[in-house]
Amino acid sequence: MSGHEPAIMPPGNYYLTGNEALAEGAIAAGCRFYAGYPITPSSEIMERMAARLDEIDGGVFMQMEDEIASICAVIGAVWAGARGMTATSGPGFSLMQEAIGYAAITETPLVIADIQRAGPGTGQATKVGGGDLMQAKWGSHGDYTPIAMCPWSVQEMYDLTIRAFNLAETWRVPVFVMGEEAVGHLKEGLTVDAPPAVINHREEKGATPFGHELPDGVPPMPAFGEGEKLLITGSTHDHRGFRKTDDPAVQAQLTGRINDKIMNHRDEIVDTEAHAVDDADIVVVACGFTARSVLYAIETLRTEGLKVGLLRLKTIWPFPDDIIRTVCGSGRKILVPEMNRGQMAGEVMKYAGGDVIPLNRTDGRIIHPHLIMETIRGIA
Amino acid sequence: MLWNVTTAEYLNSGHMACPGCGASLSMRHALKVLGEETIVVLPACCWSIIAGGFPTTALSVPLLHVPFATAAACASGVRRALLSRGREEVTVMAWAGDGGTFDIGLQALSGAAERREDFLYVCYDNEAYMNTGIQQSSATPAGAWTTTTPAGKEFAYGKKDILEILRAHRPAYLVTATIACPEDFLAKFAAARKRRGFRFIHLLSPCPPGWKIDSRDSLAVTRLAVDSGVFPLVEMDDGGRLRLTCEPAHPVPVADYLRAQGRFRTVRDEDLEPLQRRVDERLESFR
């Protein structure tokens, strides 16, 4: 830890891969703790963090023995006052699921980058996939509500990772950056502005760390060694952290609050971007790398006179139900292209008034614009 | 020892190993000894790639690719089911890299050894996660460069002593070997095949891209590991002690082994003396 290098990349234009930009975004957001385990196609995040955290005062890089150890080291570090992240891909994300539930019930803010590859199982380790979206929502047992980002560019691998840390700290919740191999290994321009606003979790002397006066509130969070009496458990606990595994009221209150604190504030969390949807007969709902193909497709089809638009989800969890209701109303056709067997389309169907048409590709390739254009011409 | 190896091949041409890969040569000769009545259980490792894809699968024995952490667990299930079906003659061989053995697979390995499962576990140790692009593992030796130890692995850490961990489990058979010393290698696989119970073979397996050596020097450099005492060829005796099976044939200083490889280029001359002492003491303990 020489401390000679500036911690955050100075403002300017850079040419990086998505995985490198994600690591830089984490550092810009104040992440100084990384624990991880090699897995394609995410390993470059770990490699970048190994080199960068070595240069930064107070930076800690740990290579762990597996993904369970990786996320659990981050959980430990966060309670010791650090801001931490790990990164992985499908099989490693699967191994992390128990600890993700633990982080949710203990309200531990942390960021997990899942650079998705084609699954299930070992699948295609070096090929792109988008099949972890439902796992991000439902992967651990029980009821909890995580937040998940869907970057579509190298710029967003940087920007949305910063936002992921800020959301994790604001809502005391695990936040996922659901990159895909195609954006992780994509190399393109990145513009870094002035250092971003970094949000810290709320601290309050003497406050109880697991309860709040508001039923959907986020309690303040102390760290070890700050003079607070801290007891942290993955079992059902009351506002002080005491185990109350026999008390139905405490269990109901706790599971209610850790879900409501996200769902009741989803307007502040959900982020979408609309392109040419106002007069559209056909709306394409997409996220991540696929939305790049869609944007090209709708711009091309507009020149042919087809009224098509794109609704891009920059966050997928919590799901933007109200926006889907508004943009995907009856009378419109809704196309949902995705690199899985219809995980997002099913969610869109819950809220859309119009006909929802899935377009799925699960052969380890991206969905090319021509396939989207062909499909749209077929349904127009 | 007389060179008496079958001309039968169970590793066929068309495999996907890099030139100079020790893991492909090791598998080829291991299967020559174990024969076609062998089932290979393979977690994520270089060999997941080397084995190739259907219909060009390079092994002509059955192969079970399994999740990263689970070689010893899956092999346990295969062996128990075979025994229940009266197929005792079939050899079950778990074949895992150092990451899948020293790190993520250690829990399953310990469980299988403790249950005295009747199969052969082989760790082909190339001393880092080579398949994902050369990240350190707990088998990476002190001083070695990897992408996650950009300045060389810290000397305080060194290489996890997997032999001592296995020895504490009192397995039926416990040896080290390397294909760079083939007579010793073949004798040990032959002995392992005859034993019953949990058997563990630790192979040092050269990796030219990871070790930053020329592929043509792969075996010569690995022989230096044995001759310098960095990788002693040992066997656990009936009393549970590890004993040398071969003295280094042409003893050389540790520096000769390290300086033959690009991955140790950040090791300073003054670091060599304590390393040499550590190696000498360990070698002596096996005499």
- Amino acid identity, residue B102? F
Q: Which has more confidence, A26 or A206?
A: A26
Measure A25 CA to nearest chain B CA, in Å: 19
For residue A232, is pLDDT > 80? yes
Query: Across the interface, do B150 and A63 touch by the CB < 8 Å criterion?
Result: no
pLDDT bin (cut points 50, 70, 90) of residue A4 is very low
- B90 belongs to a structural domain: yes
According to CATH, the topology of domain A273-379 is Rossmann fold (3.40.50)
List the one residue out of A163, A156, A164 whose CA is nearest residue A182.
A156
Residues in A touching B150 (Cβ below 8 Å): 50-51, 54
Q: Report the residue from B67, B135, B136 with minimal CB separation from A91.
A: B67
Three-class secondary structure of residue A222 per DSSP: coil
pLDDT given at position A6: 66
pLDDT bin (cut points 50, 70, 90) of residue A277 is very high
Q: Report the residue from A47, A66, A122 with minimal CB separation from B69.
A: A66
CATH superfamily of A12-192: Thiamin diphosphate (ThDP)-binding fold, Pyr/PP domains (3.40.50.970)
The answer to whether the bond into A41 is cis (omega within 30° of 0) is yes
- Among the ranges A73-82, A175-184, B152-161, which has the highest mean pLDDT value? A175-184
pLDDT bin (cut points 50, 70, 90) of residue A67 is very high
- B3 belongs to a structural domain: no
Q: Report the residue from B67, B69, B135 with minimal CB separation from A63.
A: B135
- B13 belongs to a structural domain: no
Dig out the tokens for B58 from the structure.
């390079």
A interface test, pick of B48, B74, B104 with most A CB neighbours within 10 Å = B104
Q: Does B154 touch chain A (CB under 8 A)?
A: no
CA B110/CA A70 separation, integer angstroms: 21
- B5 belongs to a structural domain: no
Residue in B closest to A124 by C-alpha: B49
pLDDT given at position B114: 96
Integer angstrom CA distances of residue A215 from A167, A245, A262, B139: 19, 20, 12, 50
Please answer whether residues A86 and B124 qualify as being in contact, where contact means their C-beta atoms are separated by less than 8 angstroms.
Answer: no
Q: Does B134 touch chain A (CB under 8 A)?
A: no
Please answer whether residues B210 and B130 qualify as being in contact, where contact means their C-beta atoms are separated by less than 8 angstroms.
Answer: yes
CA A48/CA A17 separation, integer angstroms: 11
In the block, which residue shows the tokens 């796992």?
A135
Looking at every residue in chain A, the average pLDDT score rounds to: 95
CA A213/CA B26 separation, integer angstroms: 65
Query: Across the interface, do B132 and A122 touch by the CB < 8 Å criterion?
Result: no
Query: Across the interface, do B135 and A91 touch by the CB < 8 Å criterion?
Result: no
Q: Report the residue from A47, A66, A91 with minimal CB separation from B103.
A: A66
Query: Across the interface, do B147 and A95 touch by the CB < 8 Å criterion?
Result: no
Per the structure, how many domains does chain B have?
Answer: 1
Tell me whether residue B240 is exposed, middle or buried, using C-beta atoms within 10 angstroms of its C-beta: 0 to 12, 13 to 18, 19 or more: exposed
User: A12-192 and A273-379 share one CATH topology?
Assistant: yes
Under DSSP, the state recorded for B36 is S
Query: Across the interface, do A65 and B104 touch by the CB < 8 Å criterion?
Result: yes
pLDDT given at position A340: 98
Residue in B closest to A90 by C-alpha: B67
Q: Report the residue from A37, A40, A51 with minimal CB separation from B150.
A: A51
Residues in B touching A62 (Cβ below 8 Å): none
Please answer whether residues B225 and B199 qualify as being in contact, where contact means their C-beta atoms are separated by less than 8 angstroms.
Answer: no
Residues forming a β-bridge with B144: none
- B151 belongs to a structural domain: yes
A interface test, pick of B42, B148, B160, B162 with most A CB neighbours within 10 Å = B148
- B119 belongs to a structural domain: yes
Q: Report the residue from A43, A67, A91 with minimal CB separation from B135.
A: A43
CA A91/CA A66 separation, integer angstroms: 11
Dig out the tokens for A207 from the structure.
């406050």
Query: Across the interface, do B148 and A121 touch by the CB < 8 Å criterion?
Result: no
Question: pLDDT tens for residues A137-173?
Answer: 999 999 999 999 999 999 999 999 999 999 999 999 9
Dig out the tokens for A374 from the structure.
């062909």
Q: Report the residue from A46, A61, A66 with minimal CB separation from B104.
A: A66
Dig out the tokens for A204 from the structure.
């309050």
Residue in A closest to B151 by C-alpha: A51
For residue B53, is pLDDT > 80? no
pLDDT given at position B13: 85
CA B159/CA B170 separation, integer angstroms: 21
A15: phi then psi, degrees, rounded to nearest 5:
-125, 100
Largest CA distance in chain B: 59
CA B9/CA B136 separation, integer angstroms: 33
- Residue positions counted in chain A: 380
List the one residue out of A108, A104, A109, A127 whose CA is nearest residue A117.
A127
Q: Does B266 touch chain A (CB under 8 A)?
A: no
List the one residue out of A345, A339, A360 whose CA is nearest residue A283.
A345
Query: Across the interface, do B132 and A38 touch by the CB < 8 Å criterion?
Result: yes
The DSSP H or E segment spanning A25 is: helix A18-28
Q: Does B151 touch chain A (CB under 8 A)?
A: yes
* pTM summary value: 0.90
Q: Report the residue from A46, A121, A122 with minimal CB separation from B148.
A: A46
Integer angstrom CA distances of residue A73 from A60, A77, A279, A310, B214: 11, 6, 50, 40, 38
For residue B2, is pLDDT > 60? no
Number of H helices, E strands in chain B: 10, 8
- B1 belongs to a structural domain: no
Residues in B touching A91 (Cβ below 8 Å): 44, 67-68
Three-class secondary structure of residue B92 per DSSP: strand
Residues in B touching A54 (Cβ below 8 Å): 150-151
Residue ranges per structural domain of chain A: 12-192, 273-379
Please answer whether residues B93 and B40 qualify as being in contact, where contact means their C-beta atoms are separated by less than 8 angstroms.
Answer: yes
Q: Does A93 touch chain B (CB under 8 A)?
A: no
CA A293/CA A97 separation, integer angstroms: 31
Measure B104 CA to nearest chain A CA, in Å: 5
Residue in A closest to B138 by C-alpha: A65
Q: Does B160 touch chain A (CB under 8 A)?
A: no
Q: Does A364 touch chain B (CB under 8 A)?
A: no
Dig out the tokens for B8 from the structure.
């039968």
Q: Does B19 touch chain A (CB under 8 A)?
A: no
Q: Can you list the alpha helix ranges (DSSP code H) found in chain B?
A: 22-34, 46-50, 71-84, 106-114, 162-167, 182-194, 208-211, 218-227, 254-259, 269-285
Integer angstrom CA distances of residue A181 from A151, A292, A367: 11, 14, 13
Residues forming a β-bridge with B242: B236
Residue in B closest to A122 by C-alpha: B67
Question: pLDDT tens for residues B260-273?
Answer: 999 999 999 999 99
Q: Does B69 touch chain A (CB under 8 A)?
A: yes
List the one residue out of B176, B182, B179 whose CA is nearest residue B159.
B176
A to B CB pairs, distance under 8 Å: 51
pLDDT bin (cut points 50, 70, 90) of residue B4 is confident
Looking at every residue in chain B, the average pLDDT score rounds to: 95
For residue A116, is pLDDT > 60? yes
Question: pLDDT tens for residues B90-140?
Answer: 999 999 999 999 999 999 999 999 999 999 999 999 999 999 999 999 999
> Where in the sequence is the domain holding B77, given as residue range(s)?
22-285
What secondary structure does DSSP assign to A77-105, as a single string?
A: HHHTT--EEEEE-HHHHHHTHHHHHHHHH
Integer angstrom CA distances of residue B49 from A33, A124, B227: 32, 11, 31
Tell me the CATH number at B209: 3.40.50.970
Residues in B touching A46 (Cβ below 8 Å): 135, 148
pLDDT bin (cut points 50, 70, 90) of residue A3 is very low
B interface test, pick of A19, A34, A47 with most B CB neighbours within 10 Å = A47
Contacts of A203 by beta carbon, 8 Å cutoff, 6+ apart:
A220, A221, A222, A226
pLDDT bin (cut points 50, 70, 90) of residue A191 is very high
Chain B from 163 to 182: CB within 8 A of any A CB: none
pLDDT bin (cut points 50, 70, 90) of residue A1 is very low
- B40 belongs to a structural domain: yes
Q: Report the residue from B44, B102, B133 with minimal CB separation from A43.
A: B133
Please answer whether residues B51 and B97 qualify as being in contact, where contact means their C-beta atoms are separated by less than 8 angstroms.
Answer: no
List the one residue out of B16, B20, B13 whose CA is nearest residue B210.
B20
pLDDT given at position B58: 82
B interface test, pick of A2, A19, A43, A65 with most B CB neighbours within 10 Å = A65
